[in-house]
Structures are given as C-alpha cells and as structure tokens.
Structure 1
Amino acid sequence: MGLEKQGAKPKGLTGTIIGKMMNRLHTGRYVKYFLKNIPSENSSILDIGCGGGKFLHFLNSLNNGYKLYGLDHSEKMIALAGKVNQREIEKGLVEIKQGSVMELPFANNSLDMVTAFETVQFWPDSLKSFIEVKRVVKPGGKFIIFNYYPKEGTKWWNFAKIKDDKQYKKLLEESGFSSTHCNLQNEKGWIIIESVK
C-alpha cells in the first residue's frame, strides 16, 4: 500500500507507525496556533481525521472544560487514539468514534468547533463533506482546516484536491459558512482556514 493510501486510511503495522509519526511530527504546528487562539471554556470540539489522537490530548491538557471528540475511519488510528487518550476517555472527557466525514455521528448544531488537520485532501467529496461539517457546527461556531499549500508542478499539487485559497473559499461559501479567512504561510508551505457558520 502506497504512502498516499496509508495517509488516507492507515492499516497494519505501517499504519500504526505512520500514526505515531504524525503524533510526533505534526502536532506541534497545531499547538502553536491554538495556544494563540484558545477555544472558549466548555467548548465541544470535534477533530475529524484525528489519527493518533495527540491533538485531543493537548486540548484536554488546557483544563478548560472541553468535551472532545475524535473521528477517524481507520481502525488502527481509533485504537492508537484510544491508547493516547485512555485516561481522558475513562473520565468521560474524550470520545473516539469510527466513522466517515460524509455521515458524521453528531446532531445538528451540536459542536462549537470542528478541526481538520492534513486530512481534507483525502475526503471523497469536498463540497458534500463541508456541508456535513456545517450541519453539526453551532451557529457562530468554527471550522478550522490546516493543510499543505501545494506548489504548482509538484507531486503534492497533482495529489491535492483543493489547489489554493480561492478554491477553499468558494467551496466553504457554497457549503453555507458565513465567513472564511485564509492564512497563507507560503514560506512554510501551509494554509490555515478559519470558517464561521
């Protein structure tokens, strides 16, 4: 199985190794952002494509009374996220669910924030997925996306479904989000998208 497929749905020993690598290498990028943009106390937050669950572990460490959910469609990632957050799960602070972004197991207008880190490129239908995210976010709630910002002509450009900030904005507006702000970090090859319902 190629790395792109493993990234989409990690399986087997390789999948477990990839999940642990993501926990070590990627979480720091998100932590820096959220330490500057700490969600309100007692927020309900869903991380779609939660992988190994390290980001949920970080959010819980802020002790702000969050109710945290992780969703992934990989059994390997669900198992790893469960281990990383075992104490929090036992205390009822974190729930890890297996499922699809196309059919989120949450009620309408039930979440204050939804996050997606390096995962939207794997979603089968961007527009339908964004509409489904909008369904579960409360009015005034946020949808935060972190993703690589591909350079034209590279392998990542060919792989990425959403090529630039204009496409993100168009899709999110069509999905029903009221406002979208894109923060390009070209020198780092990243884009951060903040959408409000």
Structure 2
Amino acid sequence: MAHRRSNQQRNRWVVSLLDVQPTDRVLEIGFGPGVAISELAGRATRGQVYGIDHSEVMVQQASRRNAAAINAHRVELVHASVDQLPNFDDPLDAVLAVNSVGFWPDPVERLGRLRRLLRPGGRIALVTQPRSPGATRDTTARAAQELQDLLTQAGFTKIRAEILDLDPPVAGVLADNPTDGPS
C-alpha cells in the first residue's frame, strides 16, 4: 500500500489541505503504513504527531518508516482503535482519517469525541477513495456527502469537500471545530 503511487499522492494532498503548522499537535486515525504520518511529521517539526491503528502489522510498518521521528519523540504510534483513544495532555490542532470512517462503529459519536479533543478552531480532514468495482466521480461525490453529513451531525462547522482527480477520485472533507458555543 505504501508504495502505490496513488496512496502517496493522496496522503501528501490531504496533509497539504490540512495546513499543518510547525507547532501543531496532530492525530491520524488508521495510519496504515505511515505515509501520512511521515508527511505530518515533516510539517509539524516542533509539534507532536500521534497515530492510532487497530493493526499491529501497520504499527510495525509505520514505526519502521518513521523511526527517526519516533526516536526524536516527535511521533508516537499506538496500537488502538478509534474506540480506545489515548489520553492527550493538551488539545489537538488537527485530526486526520483516511479511508477509515466507514469502519467506525457509531461514527457521529466518535467524531463528537474527536471534536472534544480538538482545540477551538482545530481542523479535521476525513478522506475517502471508493475502491468498489466501477467507482466513479459520482461514487466519490456521494461518499463525500456522507462524510459532510456525519461532520455536521457531530457539530463541526465550515465543512467543505475537495476532490483529487485520481482513478477513482479522492474526496477530502475538511471541517473546523467551532470557536464558540458548547462542545
């Protein structure tokens, strides 16, 4: 997966959309082989990058790929699921999930938990690249709308979708944690 050109393009693209700053604290859920973790660590050079993945094999692969950043204590990877989010001492600036929301039990509730972990004005990016046979731009558009609806239900604001023209197209849905009001 990590060597597939489309996966590398998709991960670089979404990290650029998330606008990660040097001091940001970022969480990726379902990091797989760690391609986006590496991109995030390259941007959050004075911040902290966290990752959780339910697969021990992916934790091992991503740990090898990101060994230098882990040794420098800038990246922390944990074997866990979205149901078992670790405790973060301070609020996060950004959250990323690529092709994983569809596997989450009760995604609106999970997104609400993630929203509470984000600082006011923090950002989230949910990415989907439908891989079903015959997937088209319309398939991607429908998947993007589903992600937008979930984010709306979870209380996120300023929701927008971006499309990366791969085959099939990739949708990146970005949103902000509101800066005021109840969390």
- Cα distance per residue 1:6-46 (max 9 Å; x no partner): xxxxxxxxxxxxxxx23543022221343466312200011
Do structure 1's residue 99 and structure 2's residue 80 form an aligned pair?
Answer: yes
Q: TM-score, normalised by structure 2?
A: 0.80
Which stretches in structure 2 are left out of the alignment for 5+ residues? Answer: 178-183
- Cα distance per residue 1:94-114 (max 9 Å; x no partner): 100111112311348610000
Distance 1:168 1:185 in 2: 16
**1:112 is matched with which residue?**
93
The SS at the match of 1:42 is coil
The one-letter amino acid of 2:87's match is F
Query: Any conservation in 1 of the 2:15–2:36 contact (CA below 8 Å)?
Result: no
Q: How does 1:41-190 map to 2 (within 5 A)?
A: 41-62=22-43, 64-107=45-88, 110-149=91-130, 163-185=142-164, 188=167, 189-190=169-170
Which structure has more relative contact order (CA 8 Å, sep 6+)? It is: 2
Query: Any conservation in 2 of the 1:23–1:54 contact (CA below 8 Å)?
Result: no
The one-letter amino acid of 2:21's match is S
Please identify runs of 4+ aligned residues in structure 1 that moved more than 6 A: none
Query: Any conservation in 2 of the 1:101–1:133 contact (CA below 8 Å)?
Result: no
Relative to structure 1, the CA distance from residue 173 to residue 32 in structure 2 (aligned partners, 3 Å threshold; closer, same or farther) is: closer
The SS at the match of 1:128 is helix
Query: Any conservation in 2 of the 1:108–1:135 contact (CA below 8 Å)?
Result: no
Which stretches in structure 1 are left out of the alignment for 5+ residues? Answer: 1-20
Report the number of matched residues. 172
What is the root-mean-square deviation of aligned Cα atoms in Å?
2.8
Q: TM-score, normalised by structure 1?
A: 0.75
Distance 2:90 2:142 in 1: 29
